Amino acid sequence: MKALVILSGGQDSTTCLFWALQKYGTGNVHAIGYDYNQRHKAELDFARDICNQHNVPFTVISLPVIAELSDNALTNPNMAVDTSKSEDSPPNTLVEGRNLLFLTYAAIYAKTRDIRVLVTGVSESDFSGYPDCRDIFIKSCNVTLNMGMDYPFIIETPLMWRAKARVWQLASELGVLDIIKNQTLTCYNGIVGTGCGNCPACHLRQKGYEEYLCTK
């Protein structure tokens, strides 16, 4: 069976890429990324490099319409990224409908290539208030895609119930801890590896890494 990984070049999706390679085997895994004018679009360069190193076909889809429709700190360079999140509202890095669009375009790509499995790195354990990272959304989307495209997709979410410490643990189990630590870009300010240290993505990543080290 073949699998298509939605790959941003960040910690989570890159861990999912290696998970898919182990489960489905080299030659059966493709990857797809999205350029939606995100402030950290350099992540796609790191995604491409890793795919080249591991013989994974990688396609980038341009989706500038996302930036035109949703005003958020990831696509609006004039909006500062919130360093803390209110309990009453999602963070200003929420890109409305992003995962819904990503999965839809991934499904179109996959069906035309006889790929049934879609792999995404969303997590309800560390979902930061993004509604389209929840398990109930993924299950609903899976049903909708299957019905709308008359095709038996399987959406895999290897990280759904893993907090960041356990994502680091999985990377270690897969033998790619150093790759994930040094060659992925999670930082909203576009700094590879440990990142800027100030944005929410960096805080979450570093906190998870420290917690993982405590379990060793």
CA–CA gap between residue 153 and residue 127 (Å, rounded): 23
H or E stretch at 155 = strand 154-156
* Average pLDDT, integer, range 145-161: 98
Amino acid of residue 88: D
Q: Is 197's pLDDT higher than 70? A: yes
- Residue 150 tokens read as 């008359």
Closest CA to 193 of 40, 52, 75, 59: 40
Residues above pLDDT 90, as percent of the chain:
78
Question: How far, CA to CA in Å, does 179 sit from each of 48, 69, 93, 152, 208?
Answer: 13, 34, 26, 33, 16
Query: Listing from the earlier edge strand, what are the strands of the sheet with 154-156?
Result: 58-62, 29-35, 3-6, 117-119, 154-156
For residue 87, what are the contacts with CB-CB under 8 A and spacing of at least 6? none
Tell me if 62 sits within 8 A of 44, measured CB to CB.
no
| Lowest-confidence segment of 63-77, 100-114, 160-174 by average pLDDT | 63-77
- Residue 208 tokens read as 């998870």
Can you list the domains of the chain with their CATH numbers? 3-215 (3.40.50.620)
Whose structure tokens read 């999985």?
Answer: 170
Tell me if 20 sits within 8 A of 5, measured CB to CB.
yes
- pTM of the model as a whole: 0.95
Residues above pLDDT 70, as percent of the chain:
97
pLDDT in tens, 76-131: 888 988 776 566 677 888 889 999 999 999 999 999 999 999 999 999 987 677 89
The most distant pair of C-alpha atoms in the chain lies apart, rounded to whole Å, by 47
